[in-house]
Amino acid sequence: MTLSWHLFPSRRRPPVQHKTLAMSFVEYGDTIKDGDTAIVFLGHESMFPVKVQQGSVTQTKYGVIRHSTDLIGKKYGSKVTCSKGGWVFILHPTPELWTVNLPHRTQILYSTDISVITMMLELKPGSIVCESGTGSGSLSHALIRTVAPTGHLYTVEFHQQRAEKAKEEFREHGVEHLVTVTNQDVCKNGFGVSDIADAVFLDIPSPWEAIGHAKSALKAEGGRICSFSPCIEQVQRTCLAMEEYGFTEINTLEILLRVYNSRSLLSFHLPPKSLEHSLSPTSPQGKSNKLPNSSYEEIPTQKQGKTHRRM
Ligand SMILES: C[S@@+](CC[C@H](N)C(=O)[O-])C[C@H]1O[C@@H](n2cnc3c(N)ncnc32)[C@H](O)[C@@H]1O
């Protein structure tokens, strides 16, 4: 994965007032309500989203959850006992939980990349961001949460069903006032806005064709752009296009998540002081005095089986 950046100074916008909704991905609601999207948590490797509906039931391996009696009116975070006696936790949705639970319509961005993208684009409450393509809306939810409550996301998707589904999800998740979804080809028609964006993000196969539109969408005094590409050839063409359009401070990054395994060596005892010399690493007996090296393993930033990009 490679990201290209450019930077020039940006200006703050005055805050805009938006209505707030009962439950949403950008505002914590204490109690589970009819119509909410909740996360049924069976374990870190096993959870799924559920649309809470009066009269509905959800099947789990621990038995049935009855929405009217087991969910509605309960606190988020509650432990709910299913019909077979097993239990689950019901969690309030967050963009991070949505990313690992959403229905995939495309390849998606995961939280490791999303966190760096958000930081490098210098997003904050009130930022105006343009994005293309919307895809499955994984990044969109995180962008919306970051720019809320006064910012806005303009997201462009040329696949009609994906654009419609994204709109529907934003409505269900109580964030529709923070996002505009446009169904068009960003390379031909741009983002539908000009001179207002603090930042632009591209996750499309030919980002170099959208750089001119990105520049038009950005504020006249500048902003930041990031393009996410799996292939170095795409990166090269995009960097060239950025240069051509006058972007500066262009960088390419690869984000790797490295997980360390740290273990206690319970059976390892330090030798008594008197034996320290005879157990030096060079002495024959000394071999056992050596601490093993710490070990680590590298894991891909995306779930196994979802590491290859296809568009
Ligand atoms: C990999 S997906 C984006 C995934 C998204 N970042 C996420 O985290 O869910 C790429 C999307 O870009 C859309 N797309 C590709 N080229 C496009 C273009 N020229 N204009 C608008 N959308 C485009 C595709 O239809 C696809 O839905």
Share of the chain above pLDDT 90, in %: 75
Surface-to-core class of residue 262, CB atoms within 10 Å of its CB (0-12 exposed, 13-18 middle, 19+ buried): exposed
Tokens 């999207």 locate to: 37
Residue 310 scores a pLDDT above 50: no
**Token code pair at residue 144:** 């919306």
pLDDT, position 268: 62
Sheet bearing 79-81, strands edge to edge: 46-51, 37-43, 87-91, 79-81
How far, in Å, is the centroid of ligand 1 from the Cα of 162? 9
How far, in Å, is the centroid of ligand 1 from the Cα of 279? 62
Element (DSSP H or E) covering residue 216: helix 211-217
How far, in Å, is the centroid of ligand 1 from the Cα of 196? 22
Q: CATH fold of 2-17+98-253, please?
A: Rossmann fold (3.40.50)
Residue 257 scores a pLDDT above 70: yes
Cα 123 to Cα 126: distance, rounded to the nearest angstrom: 8
Cα 230 to Cα 106: distance, rounded to the nearest angstrom: 14
The minimum-distance atom of ligand 1 relative to the CA of 188 is 19
pLDDT, position 276: 59
Q: Which residues line ligand 1 (CB under 6 A)?
A: 106-109, 132-133, 135-139, 156-159, 162, 185-187, 203-205, 311
| Other CB atoms within 10 A of residue 208 CB | 22
With the most atoms of ligand 1 within 8 angstroms of its CB, the residue from 141, 157, 167 to mutate is 157
Domain 37-91, CATH class in plain words: alpha beta
Report pLDDT digits (tens) over 194-217.
999 999 999 999 999 999 999 999
pLDDT, position 25: 94
How far, in Å, is the centroid of ligand 1 from the Cα of 31? 35
The minimum-distance atom of ligand 1 relative to the CA of 109 is 8
How far, in Å, is the centroid of ligand 1 from the Cα of 37? 24
Residue 16 scores a pLDDT above 50: no
Residue 184 scores a pLDDT above 80: yes
How far, in Å, is the centroid of ligand 1 from the Cα of 165? 13
pLDDT, position 264: 81
The minimum-distance atom of ligand 1 relative to the CA of 159 is 25
Residues 6+ apart with CB under 8 A from 245: 211, 212, 215
Residue 277 scores a pLDDT above 70: no
Report pLDDT digits (tens) over 86-128.
999 999 999 999 999 999 999 999 999 999 999 999 999 999 9
- Mean of pLDDT values over 240-245: 98
Instruction: Please state the domain extents for the chain.
Output: 2-17+98-253, 37-91
